[in-house]
Every structure is written in C-alpha cells, then in structure tokens.
Amino acid sequence: MPVALKNAIVTTTVLLYLFSVSATGFAVLTLSMSSSAGKSSPRRSLKKKSVADNMALKIGLNVVPKKKSGYTHNVGNDAQTETNKVRKVKVPTITWTQNAKDFFWRDNEQSREKANLRNTSRTTTGVPARQRGERQVQVQVQAVANKEEFPLYLLRNVLPPKSLARALSIVLDEDTAISDAEEMEQHERVSGGKVRTLRRSIVSRLKCTTESSKSLPTHVQLLNMIVSGLPVELVEGMPLSGSTKDNGNTSIHKCSNSEHVPTTTHNHSHQYEDGSIVYYRTAGNDFYDTHHDSYAPGDPPRQRQRAYTILLYLRAPPGLPLMGGTEFPRLTPLRQGQTSESKKGRTATTTSTRNQPKERLVVKPRPGDALVWPNFDEDGNPHMHSVHRALSIAPSTPPTTISKGKLQADEIARKDKDNDLMGKIVVNLWFEG
Ligand SMILES: O=C(O)CCC(=O)C(=O)O
Ligand SMILES: [Fe+2]
C-alpha cells in the first residue's frame, strides 16, 4: 500500500499519483513540512526506508520507475489508449444526480446565448438557526466560454470580503491548517530518462470527520463558510452541520464512507469526497502541472471518483492570469463573436484557425471566487477536457493583501508576515459520483 495511504495526510489527488507509482513508474517525493512555512525539514518519518529508497531519495526520487510512464503531459493520447487496452485497465464511470447534470449541462446553450450568465439561489437547509440567517444566498454562475463547450464555470463571491478574511486567517493558522501541511514534490520520469517535476506546493488536507473523531473546528468553520456560498445543486451531499459539540467532538459535514458504494439511480447526492488547501510559495516558484483530478489513463482507478471539482481561490498573485492562474490546456478561449466547435458546422462565418498557435484558456479568479467543472462527462465517463494545471507563481511577486473586513487587522498581518512566501492559496473540494 502506498505510504500516503497509511498516513492519510496527503491529498487524494496525490494518492492518484502515488497509485501511479506502481502502475506507471511515477516517482514521488513527499516530505512533511515544519510548522513554519518555508522551513521544510522532514518532520515525520513516513516509513522505514530501505537502502535503495534512501539512495533514491538522495537523487530526488523515492521510487525508481521500472516501466515507461503511462501518464504524460498529453493525457489521453493514442499511446495511452493503447496502453489501456494492453493492460485492460478498467476506466471508472460515475452516476450524476439530475441536479448536478442540470447545473453543468442543461442551461449551457441558453446561458451562452444570454451573455453566459445565470443566477442560482440556494437554500440553507440543515444549518442551525443561529447560523442560518434569513436571507437566501444568491450565487452568480458565469460560464467560462470555450470553443470545446466544456462546462467550466466561475462562481462569483463565494466568500464575501469578511468571510474571505476569516478563511485566510484559518488557513494561515499555524496551529491548525499549517501544522498539518505537507510539502509535496512529485517527480515523473519522462522519455529519454529525464525526470520532470509534476508538482511542487504545500498541501493540507481538509478533513472529513467521519475519518477522524477529532476534527478541527476551524476546518468546520471554513467548510461551512464555503458551502454557504455555493449553488445548492452542488452541495446537496454536504449539508451544513454547524460546529455543535457532540461528546467533545465537533460534528461536521456528512462525508462519504471510505468504501465506495456504486450508485445505480439518479436519486443519490454527490457526497463530499475530500478537500485540500494548497499553498504555492512565491519563492519556491510552486506549481502543479497538467493532471486530471480523478483519473489517469492506464492507471488503476481510484476507489472513489471525484465527479466534480470546486476550486476556490483564497489568494492570487497580482498580475496577468499567466502568473499563477489555472490553465485548461485542452480548452480554447471563446472570444466575443467567435463560435463554439459544435456550431462551426452550422455557420458559414467561422474562420479557420489552422496554422495559428492555439490560444490558452487560463483563468485566475479573484480571491473569494471559485471555479467549478465536471471531471466526468454527461454519460459518466472521464472527461479529459477537464485536465488542468496551476501555473507557476511568478518570482518576487508579493502576496496580495487583504483589503476589506475587520478580521484582517493585526492577526492576519502577523500571519502574513510569518507566511509571506504563500503567493497563492486555493481550496479544492471534491464531490463523489
Ligand atoms: O491551484 C490551481 O490552480 C489548481 C490546483 C489543482 O489543480 C489541484 O490541487 O488539484
Ligand atoms: Fe487539480
């Protein structure tokens, strides 16, 4: 069993790649992080290492690949399809709820034609009265138009300024989020025997309390704040539970069981599968290269699939989207007046883009805004258009400061000082299919 599974500390995205170690020869180096950001001395021994492992670690690998890597930058290419056939690797599928399906696909056409805008309201069912408040939250859902018609949406103002300030103070808290964080550096062997780095960042898992009886109250608060600002169709499987005490333990969101129960009807809800806080250090020029959040062709499928991803920005480096934004390399931005792929055949007005370099779809949401996309298509098969990457943080860009909300005052200023390497901070929420 991969080391990380035993330790259950790293994110499950990382587990995906750790699985890849055995199947495709990924080389992964995982170091735990000291509580103070920037000092990255290993704090815990993850497992007793063999002489070979120790040697591999010295050269930056903890697994020396035996086979050619089955996962390359061009995920899902023909070679991999071939690899899949040879290995007979089962491709995972999921079942959508009607609501989630509607959210991602029903209004696509309409909403594009209506300036890509659609408003969704959510109710606050399940939140204790003292937290509920009376107003219904209006979430603005804006399609990120692309020629491939992939349902990528921007959710505006998931965290309003005050909540954003509170969220930042939580994720920068050394005693909670930061103390649990791990420094991740994953390496992959590519053709020619070269090794490339797939990812470098700090990751802290957003725990699910069914897994650990002592969950962090601040994590509950963070999840509550985020969930309150999300469209109801996306969080049905994650009712707000509040932070009431139950036998000394903080009760938390309903999480799915560790055993995956295949769903056969559309009447289920998408359970919260896992979450993470990802910190990108400016000085470390951190990034996360192209990957799918739930599936790597040729690799054994995850036990539980991540039907969709919600990626909430808490902090973004200033500057162009290319500085620290999220890129979708398989998607092409659709500018005003341009036509999507499916309409091309029906209209005579589109111009050929042959010989033109492919434009890159890069989005850098404002802090407090989130991206959401499905990792599986409408029929429940892996959607490879969802592959994405976190672009590197430009060197020497100072982190953005929090300009609104009372909470930022002294406390956050101090934390920022302690953590001024964290140029970008995002939260991933994954929901099971
Ligand atoms: O930080 C980003 O832009 C993307 C992060 C991501 O893809 C992940 O953590 O799985
Ligand atoms: Fe991702």
State yes or no: pLDDT of 23 exceeds 90. Answer: no
Ligand 2 centroid from CA 338, angstroms: 28
ipTM score for this prediction: 0.99
Beta strand 249-250 with 245-246: parallel, antiparallel or unpaired?
A: antiparallel
Q: Which comes out higher in pLDDT, residue 63 or 231?
A: 231
Q: Which comes out higher in pLDDT, residue 139 or 165?
A: 165
Is there a domain that residue 164 lies in?
yes
Q: Which comes out higher in pLDDT, residue 337 or 410?
A: 337
Question: Where does the pLDDT of residue 8 fall: very low under 50, low under 70, confident under 90, or very high at 90 and above?
Answer: very low
149-162 pLDDT, tens digit per residue, is 999 999 999 999 99
State yes or no: pLDDT of 337 exceeds 80. Answer: no
Question: Where does the pLDDT of residue 316 fall: very low under 50, low under 70, confident under 90, or very high at 90 and above?
Answer: very high
State yes or no: pLDDT of 90 exceeds 60. Answer: yes
pLDDT given for residue 135 in this prediction: 45
Ligand showing the shortest atom-to-Cα distance for residue 203: 1
pLDDT given for residue 190 in this prediction: 75
Verify whether ligand 1 is closer than 6 Å to residue 215 (CB atom): no
User: Do 89 and 300 touch, CB atoms closer than 8 A?
Assistant: yes
CA torsion angle 406 318 148 429 (round to 10): -40
Verify whether ligand 1 is closer than 6 Å to residue 274 (CB atom): no
Verify whether ligand 1 is closer than 6 Å to residue 428 (CB atom): yes
Ligand 2 centroid from CA 344, angstroms: 30
Is there a domain that residue 52 lies in?
no
**Atom of ligand 1 at shortest distance to CA of 428?**
9
**Atom of ligand 1 at shortest distance to CA of 291?**
7
**Atom of ligand 1 at shortest distance to CA of 276?**
9
State yes or no: pLDDT of 117 exceeds 70. Answer: no
CA torsion angle 4 12 93 291 (round to 10): -110
Residue 362's CB is within 10 A of a number of other CB atoms, namely 20
Question: Where does the pLDDT of residue 86 fall: very low under 50, low under 70, confident under 90, or very high at 90 and above?
Answer: low
Ligand 2 centroid from CA 290, angstroms: 8
Taking the C-alpha atoms of residue 288 and residue 13, their distance in angstroms, rounded to an integer, is 11
**Atom of ligand 1 at shortest distance to CA of 388?**
7
Q: Which comes out higher in pLDDT, residue 21 or 311?
A: 311
Taking the C-alpha atoms of residue 224 and residue 327, their distance in angstroms, rounded to an integer, is 28
Ligand 1 centroid from CA 315, angstroms: 13
Q: Which comes out higher in pLDDT, residue 299 or 336?
A: 299
Verify whether ligand 1 is closer than 6 Å to residue 290 (CB atom): no
pLDDT given for residue 251 in this prediction: 39
Taking the C-alpha atoms of residue 226 and residue 423, their distance in angstroms, rounded to an integer, is 21
Taking the C-alpha atoms of residue 267 and residue 252, their distance in angstroms, rounded to an integer, is 23
Residue with CA nearest ligand 1 atom 1: 390
Is there a domain that residue 64 lies in?
no
Most confident of 192-201, 235-244, 317-326: 317-326
**Atom of ligand 1 at shortest distance to CA of 293?**
10
Is there a domain that residue 266 lies in?
yes
Ligand 2 centroid from CA 350, angstroms: 33
Verify whether ligand 1 is closer than 6 Å to residue 168 (CB atom): no
Is there a domain that residue 82 lies in?
no
Is there a domain that residue 24 lies in?
no
Taking the C-alpha atoms of residue 31 and residue 4, their distance in angstroms, rounded to an integer, is 11
State yes or no: pLDDT of 78 exceeds 60. Answer: no
Residue with CA nearest ligand 1 atom 2: 390
The domain spanning residue 365 has which CATH number? Answer: 2.60.120.620
Verify whether ligand 1 is closer than 6 Å to residue 96 (CB atom): no
pLDDT given for residue 139 in this prediction: 83
pLDDT given for residue 255 in this prediction: 52
Ligand 2 centroid from CA 310, angstroms: 9
State yes or no: pLDDT of 386 exceeds 90. Answer: yes
Which residues, in sequence order, are CB contacts of 404 under 8 Å at separation 6+?
161, 162, 164, 165
277-295 pLDDT, tens digit per residue, is 999 988 888 999 999 999 9
Domain residues for 131?
Answer: 93-182+201-288+300-344+356-432
Mean pLDDT of all residues belonging to the chain: 67
Which residues, in sequence order, are CB contacts of 103 under 8 Å at separation 6+?
120, 231, 233, 234
Verify whether ligand 1 is closer than 6 Å to residue 188 (CB atom): no
Greatest alpha-carbon pair distance for the chain in Å reads: 67
Taking the C-alpha atoms of residue 159 and residue 274, their distance in angstroms, rounded to an integer, is 20
State yes or no: pLDDT of 349 exceeds 60. Answer: no
Across 391-415, average pLDDT: 47
Nearest to 220 by CA among 127, 123, 151: 127
Is there a domain that residue 335 lies in?
yes
State yes or no: pLDDT of 178 exceeds 90. Answer: no
Q: Which of 310, 424, 428 to mutate to test the pocket of ligand 1 (most atoms within 8 A of CB)?
A: 428
Most confident of 36-50, 176-190, 286-300: 286-300
Residue with CA nearest ligand 1 atom 4: 390
pLDDT given for residue 259 in this prediction: 44
181-223 pLDDT, tens digit per residue, is 888 888 877 778 888 788 999 999 887 554 444 556 888 889 9
Is there a domain that residue 105 lies in?
yes
pLDDT given for residue 9 in this prediction: 28
Question: Where does the pLDDT of residue 136 fall: very low under 50, low under 70, confident under 90, or very high at 90 and above?
Answer: low
CA distances from 201 to 79, 180, 197, 325, 374 (A): 30, 14, 11, 14, 24
Verify whether ligand 1 is closer than 6 Å to residue 278 (CB atom): yes
Among 83-97, 118-132, 317-331, the minimum mean pLDDT is found in: 118-132
Residue 354's CB is within 10 A of a number of other CB atoms, namely 5
Residue with CA nearest ligand 1 atom 8: 428
Ligand 1 centroid from CA 389, angstroms: 6
Q: Which of 16, 281, 288 to mutate to test the pocket of ligand 1 (most atoms within 8 A of CB)?
A: 288
| Number of domains forming the structure of the chain | 1
* 3-class DSSP assignment, residue 326: strand
Among 83-87, 221-225, 228-232, the minimum mean pLDDT is found in: 83-87
Among 86-100, 122-136, 279-293, 410-424, the minimum mean pLDDT is found in: 122-136
pLDDT given for residue 298 in this prediction: 80
Among 139-148, 178-187, 304-313, 348-357, the minimum mean pLDDT is found in: 348-357
Tokens 């929901």 sit on residue: 431
Verify whether ligand 1 is closer than 6 Å to residue 391 (CB atom): no
